[in-house]
């Protein structure tokens, strides 16, 4: 997840790249087509939005 605000990071960009967790590709500034709905994405990747690792008392708004 990428946020643009002052916050303490759990893992920095360079560390994530070194560990193979992040791959930086061409910058995309505009997307015209959204192939899946928000609910479809959450349903497909349900394990990423529930269970261990779930942020308590923290809400994220997905813009699509």
Q: Quick: pLDDT tens for 27-60.
A: 777 667 777 888 888 888 887 777 766 666 777 7
pLDDT band with cut points at 50, 70 and 90 for residue 3: low
Task: Note the pLDDT of residue 64.
Answer: 64
pLDDT at 53: 64
pLDDT at 55: 66
Asked if residues 23 and 16 have their Cβ atoms less than 8 Å apart, the reply is no
Contact 34, 64 (CB under 8 A): yes
Residue 2's pLDDT band (cuts 50, 70, 90): low
């Amino acid at each position: 997840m990428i946020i643009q605000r002052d916050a303490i990071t759990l893992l920095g960009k360079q560390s994530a790249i070194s560990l193979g967790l992040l791959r930086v590709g061409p910058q995309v500034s505009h997307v015209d087509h959204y192939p899946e709905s928000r609910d479809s994405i959450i349903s497909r990747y349900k394990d990423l939005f529930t269970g261990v690792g779930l942020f308590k008392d923290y809400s994220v708004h997905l813009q699509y």
